[in-house]
Amino acid sequence: MTADVGTPPAGPGLLATTVAALQSSGRMVETDWDAETFDVHPREEGGLPIAGVILHTSNSVVFYAVWDDTVPAPARAAVAEWSVRANTDLTTSTVEFSLDTGILAIRSAVHLGSITVGTPGEDVPEEATAISRTAYAALLQESVIDVETAYERYRTQVADLLAGP
Protein backbone atom coordinates (compact mmCIF):
# COMPACT_ATOMS: atom_id res chain seq x y z
CA MET A 1 0.00 0.00 0.00
CA THR A 2 1.54 3.25 -1.12
CA ALA A 3 0.78 6.76 -2.22
CA ASP A 4 3.31 7.82 -4.80
CA VAL A 5 4.65 11.09 -6.17
CA GLY A 6 6.76 11.28 -9.30
CA THR A 7 7.79 8.53 -11.65
CA PRO A 8 9.07 5.15 -10.42
CA PRO A 9 12.43 4.09 -11.84
CA ALA A 10 12.57 1.62 -14.74
CA GLY A 11 14.58 -0.98 -12.82
CA PRO A 12 14.51 -2.36 -9.30
CA GLY A 13 16.85 0.17 -7.66
CA LEU A 14 17.48 0.59 -3.95
CA LEU A 15 14.43 2.81 -3.45
CA ALA A 16 12.03 0.34 -5.10
CA THR A 17 13.62 -2.58 -3.24
CA THR A 18 13.38 -0.69 0.07
CA VAL A 19 9.76 0.36 -0.42
CA ALA A 20 8.78 -3.21 -1.38
CA ALA A 21 10.61 -4.59 1.66
CA LEU A 22 8.88 -2.20 4.05
CA GLN A 23 5.50 -2.96 2.49
CA SER A 24 6.17 -6.69 2.85
CA SER A 25 6.65 -6.00 6.57
CA GLY A 26 3.16 -4.53 6.73
CA ARG A 27 4.21 -0.88 6.68
CA MET A 28 2.38 1.75 4.64
CA VAL A 29 4.83 3.82 2.62
CA GLU A 30 4.37 7.09 0.73
CA THR A 31 7.09 7.47 -1.90
CA ASP A 32 8.54 10.44 -3.76
CA TRP A 33 10.29 8.65 -6.63
CA ASP A 34 11.89 11.81 -8.00
CA ALA A 35 13.46 12.93 -4.70
CA GLU A 36 14.19 9.29 -3.72
CA THR A 37 12.63 9.78 -0.32
CA PHE A 38 9.70 8.17 1.42
CA ASP A 39 7.59 8.34 4.56
CA VAL A 40 6.85 5.24 6.60
CA HIS A 41 3.42 5.76 8.09
CA PRO A 42 2.94 5.05 11.79
CA ARG A 43 1.29 1.81 12.80
CA GLU A 44 -1.03 3.65 15.19
CA GLU A 45 -3.24 6.69 14.71
CA GLY A 46 -1.51 9.86 15.82
CA GLY A 47 1.98 8.38 15.52
CA LEU A 48 4.84 10.16 13.82
CA PRO A 49 5.68 9.29 10.21
CA ILE A 50 9.31 8.25 9.78
CA ALA A 51 11.15 9.89 6.87
CA GLY A 52 13.40 7.70 4.75
CA VAL A 53 16.20 8.79 2.45
CA ILE A 54 18.20 6.72 -0.04
CA LEU A 55 21.94 7.52 -0.01
CA HIS A 56 23.41 6.11 -3.20
CA THR A 57 26.97 7.17 -2.40
CA SER A 58 27.10 4.66 0.46
CA ASN A 59 24.31 2.31 -0.64
CA SER A 60 22.40 3.12 2.53
CA VAL A 61 18.91 3.88 3.76
CA VAL A 62 18.55 6.46 6.52
CA PHE A 63 15.46 6.90 8.69
CA TYR A 64 14.54 10.09 10.55
CA ALA A 65 11.96 11.00 13.18
CA VAL A 66 11.92 14.80 13.01
CA TRP A 67 10.29 17.03 15.60
CA ASP A 68 7.55 19.14 14.01
CA ASP A 69 8.80 22.44 15.37
CA THR A 70 12.31 23.78 15.25
CA VAL A 71 14.00 24.47 18.56
CA PRO A 72 13.77 28.20 19.34
CA ALA A 73 17.11 30.02 19.63
CA PRO A 74 16.89 30.55 23.42
CA ALA A 75 16.54 26.77 24.00
CA ARG A 76 19.23 25.60 21.56
CA ALA A 77 22.13 25.48 24.04
CA ALA A 78 20.11 23.34 26.45
CA VAL A 79 18.94 21.02 23.65
CA ALA A 80 22.51 20.70 22.34
CA GLU A 81 23.73 19.69 25.81
CA TRP A 82 20.82 17.27 26.22
CA SER A 83 21.48 15.69 22.80
CA VAL A 84 25.06 14.82 23.79
CA ARG A 85 23.80 13.10 26.95
CA ALA A 86 20.96 11.35 25.09
CA ASN A 87 23.37 9.96 22.51
CA THR A 88 25.34 8.15 25.21
CA ASP A 89 22.21 6.08 25.96
CA LEU A 90 21.48 5.18 22.33
CA THR A 91 23.13 2.19 20.68
CA THR A 92 21.92 1.97 17.07
CA SER A 93 20.30 5.36 16.58
CA THR A 94 21.42 8.89 17.31
CA VAL A 95 20.07 12.33 18.10
CA GLU A 96 20.86 14.89 15.42
CA PHE A 97 20.56 18.55 16.29
CA SER A 98 21.53 21.62 14.27
CA LEU A 99 22.42 24.68 16.32
CA ASP A 100 22.06 26.77 13.15
CA THR A 101 18.57 25.69 12.07
CA GLY A 102 17.11 24.28 15.29
CA ILE A 103 16.11 21.05 13.53
CA LEU A 104 16.01 18.11 15.95
CA ALA A 105 15.70 14.47 14.84
CA ILE A 106 16.42 10.86 15.72
CA ARG A 107 18.36 9.02 12.98
CA SER A 108 19.12 5.40 12.22
CA ALA A 109 20.59 3.80 9.11
CA VAL A 110 20.93 0.52 7.28
CA HIS A 111 24.27 0.55 5.45
CA LEU A 112 24.56 -2.06 2.72
CA GLY A 113 27.88 -0.96 1.25
CA SER A 114 28.85 -3.64 -1.28
CA ILE A 115 26.07 -6.03 -0.21
CA THR A 116 23.31 -6.66 -2.76
CA VAL A 117 19.69 -7.41 -1.88
CA GLY A 118 18.49 -10.60 -3.56
CA THR A 119 19.34 -14.24 -4.17
CA PRO A 120 22.67 -15.01 -5.90
CA GLY A 121 22.10 -16.82 -9.18
CA GLU A 122 18.42 -15.85 -9.25
CA ASP A 123 17.97 -12.07 -9.23
CA VAL A 124 21.57 -10.97 -8.56
CA PRO A 125 24.86 -12.26 -10.00
CA GLU A 126 26.04 -15.61 -8.65
CA GLU A 127 29.25 -14.10 -7.24
CA ALA A 128 27.45 -11.28 -5.38
CA THR A 129 27.62 -10.90 -1.64
CA ALA A 130 23.91 -10.74 -0.96
CA ILE A 131 21.29 -10.51 1.73
CA SER A 132 17.87 -12.04 1.18
CA ARG A 133 14.88 -9.78 0.64
CA THR A 134 13.33 -11.18 3.81
CA ALA A 135 16.42 -10.38 5.88
CA TYR A 136 16.62 -6.91 4.33
CA ALA A 137 12.97 -6.26 5.22
CA ALA A 138 13.68 -7.33 8.81
CA LEU A 139 16.70 -5.00 9.06
CA LEU A 140 14.69 -2.08 7.72
CA GLN A 141 11.82 -2.80 10.08
CA GLU A 142 14.20 -2.92 13.07
CA SER A 143 15.74 0.41 12.05
CA VAL A 144 12.31 2.06 11.75
CA ILE A 145 11.26 0.66 15.14
CA ASP A 146 14.54 1.91 16.64
CA VAL A 147 13.80 5.46 15.47
CA GLU A 148 10.16 5.29 16.61
CA THR A 149 11.16 3.97 20.03
CA ALA A 150 13.89 6.56 20.59
CA TYR A 151 11.55 9.37 19.54
CA GLU A 152 8.87 8.21 21.98
CA ARG A 153 11.47 7.74 24.72
CA TYR A 154 12.72 11.33 24.41
CA ARG A 155 9.57 13.15 23.35
CA THR A 156 8.64 14.25 26.89
CA GLN A 157 12.19 15.32 27.74
CA VAL A 158 12.34 17.47 24.61
CA ALA A 159 8.95 19.00 25.39
CA ASP A 160 10.18 19.90 28.87
CA LEU A 161 13.34 21.49 27.44
CA LEU A 162 11.33 23.52 24.96
CA ALA A 163 8.94 24.67 27.70
CA GLY A 164 11.89 26.17 29.58
CA PRO A 165 12.58 26.44 33.30
Vertex 147 angle, CA 143 and 150, to 5°: 135
Query: Which pLDDT value is given to residue 28?
Result: 95
Number of domains in the chain: 1
3-class secondary structure, 164: coil
Query: Which pLDDT value is given to residue 1?
Result: 46
Q: Between β-strands 130-131 and 60-66, what pairing exists: parallel, antiparallel or unpaired?
A: unpaired
> How far is C-alpha 89 from the geometric centre of its chain's CA atoms?
19
pLDDT, one tens digit per residue, over 76-94 is 999 999 999 999 999 999 9
139, pLDDT greater than 60: yes
165, pLDDT greater than 80: no
CATH number at residue 129: 3.30.1460.10
Q: How far apart are the first and last CA of the chain?
A: 44
2, pLDDT greater than 60: no
Q: Domain range for residue 74?
A: 2-163
Query: Which pLDDT value is given to residue 154?
Result: 95
This prediction's pTM: 0.88
Q: Can you tell me the mean pLDDT for 95-119?
A: 94
Residue 122 corresponds to which amino acid? Answer: E
Element of type H or E holding 37: strand 37-40
